[in-house]
Structures are given as C-alpha cells and as structure tokens.
C-alpha cells in the first residue's frame, strides 16, 4: 500500500509545526481530595480550557486495545494508539486469546521450554509481575501456564514474584500471595515460590535507566542471594514489619527457602519464562539471560529462555517468545517520513521509548534519519517524589531550541511527571508534578505562536487525577488507619485533548464523534498539517469547513 499522503484544503494555512504534547498520567478525574490535577495551580491549562476547543478522550480499555473497559490503559498502549491512528489488540488481549485457544501451548517455543526440563529433569522458572493489574502481566496467565506444565508432567516449577503495588493497590500483595500459595501447594507440593522483591527495586528496569535493578534481580533469582523467608507471604509480612512505611513496589529482594536452603536458584539446564507481556521492562532482564550486560553476573546458567512476548522486534529480544506481539504497520511517523516531513521526538529517559519505539508501532530506530530527530534527556535516579519536576524544563528547552532551528513539520514530546510521580502515591509531589507541566506548557505556547504552529495537548492515560483510593460504596476517600489510602495505579478516567491554534478563525469545528479515543489524534494532527489521513485511520476530531 502506498505511503503517499494527499493534501487537503487546509494545506499551507499553518506554516509552523504541529506539536503533540503528551501530559503523561494527567487525566480528567473526579472532583475530590485526591485529585492532584484539580488541586494543582494550573493557570495555563485553565486558560486553554476556557479559550480553546477541547474534548475528553478514552484512554483505557477497548479504546487502546485492552480486553475490556475494566482494564486501565498505560503509556505503551496509549502511545501505540497515538502513533498508529488505529487500535490494535494489545498484549493482555493477545495472551488471553492464546491461552484460551491453547495456541500458546501448541507453539514451538512452549514445547522447547517444557521438553528441556522434562528431558533434563530440571526446574521450570517463571519470573514476572505478580498481580492482576493487566498492564505488564496477569496472575491468571501465570496460573494457566503452571497448570499446563503440571499436566505435561513437569516435576519442579519455581516462581520468582515481582511484587506490584503500582498497577494495583500499593499494599495489596497479600491479596495475591496467600491465595496463590494455597493454590500452588494443592496443585503440586513440589512447586513453589523461589524469590521475589518489589518491582521498583529489582528486575524491571527499563530504557537502561538503572542496570543496578537488573543486577539485584540476577543476584536474587539466579544466585539466590538475599534474606531468606519460609514463604512468599512470610517475606511480605516480615519485610513490612522491618519497615512499616515500605509499599509493595519498594519491598527489598528476598529468597524463599525450603528444608533450610534456597528453594530454586537458576542452574544450567533449567528453563526460564519471563511472563510479563509488556515490552519496556522485559528487555534488560532478557539480555541478562541471553546477551551482554554491564555487570558481573558471576555465573550465567545455560538455560532455555523465553519471554511471554518478543519485547524488541528489531533487536530480536528475546529470540524465543510464547505469543507474537501486535503487528502495527503504517504508523503516523512512517507516513510522515515517507513524505519527507520533518519530525522531532523528545522526552526524558523514562518515556523516551514511548515517543520513539511505541509511537512507531513497537519498532526501534528511524524510518528516515534525514528527516527525523530523536532527543533523549537523561533522567535522574532520584526518587520521583523527591524531584517531581523531573526533566520537564530540559525537555521544553530542547523542543523550543530544535523547533526554532527548523520551525515546521511535526513534533511530539512527553512530560513524564504526572505518571511517574503519580505512581509514588505522594499527593503533594503529584500536585507539584502537574504544576511543573503547566509551567512548561506556558513556555511552549508563545514559542508555537511565534512560529505559526499548532499544539495538540493530550495524555496517554490517567494517574495523578486519583492519588487516593476511592471507596466504591460511599464514593469518598478510602481510609486506612485514619489516613487516606494512597493510590499508585493508573485510572480509568478519560484524558483531555486541547487544540491550541493561535491563527484559528473558524476554519473547522470539533467533529462530535461518539466516544473518541487516543487513536483519533493522528488523523487530527494530519488534518492540521494539511494532509488527508489514510482511509483506515480513525476519523479526525475536527471537521474542516471547506
């Protein structure tokens, strides 16, 4: 199919750049005491809402390819939808179908994993995020694979549990650990949990921001180094007793012992499945088992390794995977590159992959480097709640600098603050994070006006809009020990989409689509740049008058 873009009647009416700003994690939440977005002082956003056309967009559930509207969105699926202009079935939905249809268990990768441990009478290890958050993983996927392994006669299974508290309640771990341990013991007493730790402490680093997390995970899962406990639940309880302030995502690493020794370090001849389906936090741990890493592994066991999905298709990481990822083609960026349109993508490390890899349909690298500029601002390692402004100012500096050098084409940037600080559960820090984004928008607007461009301001999902858990029965804040219970997960709320067009003179109207979502933004940006969107793209949010 041709990648040629046809011009529309708006072509040439805006000579400056069209810029999409993703306010990561800034949703349209309820008016209550835990909404950091509403509690923040945001004079710039307030003015935009009062003077510009805007509307709410769906950013979760089926609008971004998740199995149901009970499933929250996330930055990966959000940026996929923004960049693709269409909605593709995403990881959770693909894995769910592969399990239900049993295609996963008939696949060559699964058979290699199982046959290896049966032939060598070795251990099958599962490493992954231990919850039903359905953002990186789902515990039901893990249980389905363990049940199948048991049916196929695997003698020993070990689970390495990365405790969540981020996509689910911040101290909800025991709601998962206790039922799971009872279920696992009843299924097969030779199966068990081998190790674990908080997801923000071990194993699940992304974008090479902190390889120390991977090294700690390696020491925990492979070498079985760390404080020992008799069970997974005992570890959670014991670590909470040692530090009552610790939340699940920050739990220190631990090892589970049986008969006075670690239950299951990872050895030569074992099989290992990393059961997260989302890509960003699966790449580095996969490299640790299959490639080169910047730390001393001490020993590298010869294992049959598989990911739930392939986390980087361009780099083939990992080579063996259980479920194929969505095939996203003809993205917004690919069309622009094919038509010689200048593009800029910019964010800090925490979200750099989102404005590049995920925006481009899970593809690394450039479509055409002669017309594309990708700018990564290195993130700090300081805890986000202690530095909620993060690198928003530096992103703003770089975008303005680059656009002034070449004030045309298309740009996309991500302010990570509302999401990364929202995940900490610290309300006051989240308020500052939103105010930071507002200040940066106030700096961008005059620059875009000066260039004769257009801003589309949106978000990929909600987060900072609900910093306290809401009691479903009363509608009020859920209390725990007399204080509001922090919420660290994404929300199901819609997100704003604001069109700032300083040269606007009634050339278009909002189109009045029924329940539009993030996938409609691409066609909108193309229209404002003077191009007709591809026929199969979701429709634009605006209707041109001529």
Report the catalytic residues: 75
Residue 395 has which token pair?
Answer: 């992103």
Task: Give CA–CA dist 541/527, Å, rounded.
Answer: 9
Question: Residue holding tokens 């390819």?
Answer: 65
DSSP one-letter string for 196-252: EEETTTSS---TTS-HHHHHHHHHHHTS--SEEESSHHHHHHHHHHH-TT--GGGPP
Contact assessment for residue 27 and residue 465, using Cβ atoms and an 8 Å cutoff: yes
Nearest one of 174, 160, 145 to 218, comparing CA atoms = 160
Task: Give CA–CA dist 89/327, Å, rounded.
Answer: 9
Q: Report the 3 state secondary structure along 263-310.
A: CCCCCCCCEEEECCCCCCCCHHHHHHHHCCCCCCCCCCCCCEEEEEEC
| Cis preceding-peptide flag for 417 (omega within 30 of 0) | no
Contact assessment for residue 221 and residue 125, using Cβ atoms and an 8 Å cutoff: yes
Q: How many CB atoms lie within 10 A of CB 237?
A: 16
Contact assessment for residue 355 and residue 346, using Cβ atoms and an 8 Å cutoff: yes
Q: Report the 3 state secondary structure along 311-331.
A: CECCCCECCCEEECCCCCCCC
Sign of CA dihedral 466, 469, 475, 481: negative
What are the Cα distances from residue 332, in Å, to 51, 104, 378, 477?
A: 28, 31, 26, 41
| The pairing of beta strand 495-500 with beta strand 54-57 | antiparallel
Nearest one of 16, 81, 19, 86 to 457, comparing CA atoms = 19
CA 27 to chain centre: 15
């Amino acid at each position: 199919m041709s990648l040629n873009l046809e011009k529309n009647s708006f072509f040439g009416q805006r000579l400056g750049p069209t810029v999409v700003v993703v306010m990561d994690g800034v949703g349209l939440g309820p008016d209550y005491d835990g909404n950091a977005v509403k509690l923040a002082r945001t004079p710039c956003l307030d003015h935009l809402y009062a003077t510009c056309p805007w509307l709410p967009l769906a950013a979760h559930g089926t609008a971004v390819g998740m199995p149901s509207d009970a499933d929250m969105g996330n930055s990966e699926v959000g940026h996929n939808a923004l960049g693709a202009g269409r909605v593709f079935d995403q990881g959770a939905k693909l894995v769910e179908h592969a399990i239900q249809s049993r295609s996963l268990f008939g696949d060559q990768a699964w058979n290699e994993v199982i046959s290896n441990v049966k032939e060598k009478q070795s251990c099958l290890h599962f490493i992954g995020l231990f919850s039903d958050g359905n953002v990186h993983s789902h515990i039901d996927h893990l249980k389905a694979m363990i049940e199948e392994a048991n049916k196929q006669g695997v003698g020993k299974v070990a689970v390495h549990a990365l405790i969540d508290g981020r996509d689910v309640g911040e101290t909800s771990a025991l709601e998962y650990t206790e039922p799971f341990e009872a279920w696992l013991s009843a299924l097969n007493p030779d199966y068990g949990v081998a190790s674990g730790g908080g997801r923000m402490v071990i194993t699940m680093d992304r974008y090479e921001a902190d390889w120390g997390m991977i090294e700690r995970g390696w020491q925990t899962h492979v070498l079985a180094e760390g404080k020992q406990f008799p069970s997974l639940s005992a570890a959670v309880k014991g670590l909470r007793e040692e530090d009552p302030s610790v939340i699940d995502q920050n739990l220190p690493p631990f090892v589970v012992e049986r008969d006075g020794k670690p239950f299951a370090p990872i050895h030569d001849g074992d099989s290992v499945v990393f059961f997260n389906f989302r890509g960003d936090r699966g790449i580095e741990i996969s490299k640790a088992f299959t490639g080169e890493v910047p730390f001393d592994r001490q020993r590298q066991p010869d294992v049959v390794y598989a990911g739930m999905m392939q986390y980087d298709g361009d780099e083939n990481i990992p080579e063996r995977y259980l479920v194929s990822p969505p095939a996203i083609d003809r993205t917004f960026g690919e069309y622009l590159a094919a038509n010689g349109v200048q593009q800029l993508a910019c964010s800090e490390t925490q979200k750099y992959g989102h404005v590049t890899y995920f925006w481009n349909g899970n593809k690394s690298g450039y479509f055409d480097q002669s017309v594309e500029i990708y700018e990564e601002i290195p993130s700090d390692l300081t805890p986000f709640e202690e530095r909620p402004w993060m690198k928003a100012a530096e992103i703003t500096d770089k975008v303005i600098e680059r656009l002034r050098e070449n004030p045309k084409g298309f740009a996309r940037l991500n302010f990570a603050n509302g999401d990364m600080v929202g995940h900490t559960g610290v309300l006051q820090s989240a308020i500052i994070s939103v105010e930071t984004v507002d200040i940066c928008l106030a700096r961008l607007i005059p620059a875009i006006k000066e260039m004769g461009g257009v801003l589309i301001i949106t978000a990929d999902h909600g987060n900072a809009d609900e910093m306290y858990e809401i009691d479903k029965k009363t509608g009020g804040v859920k209390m725990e020990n007399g204080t509001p219970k922090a919420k660290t997960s994404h929300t199901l709320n819609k997100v704003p989409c604001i069109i700032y067009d300083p040269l606007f003179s009634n050339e278009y109207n909002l189109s009045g689509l029924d329940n539009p979502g993030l996938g409609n933004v691409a066609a909108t940006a193309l229209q404002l740049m003077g191009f007709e969107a591809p026929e199969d793209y979701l429709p634009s949010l605006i209707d041109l008058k001529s």
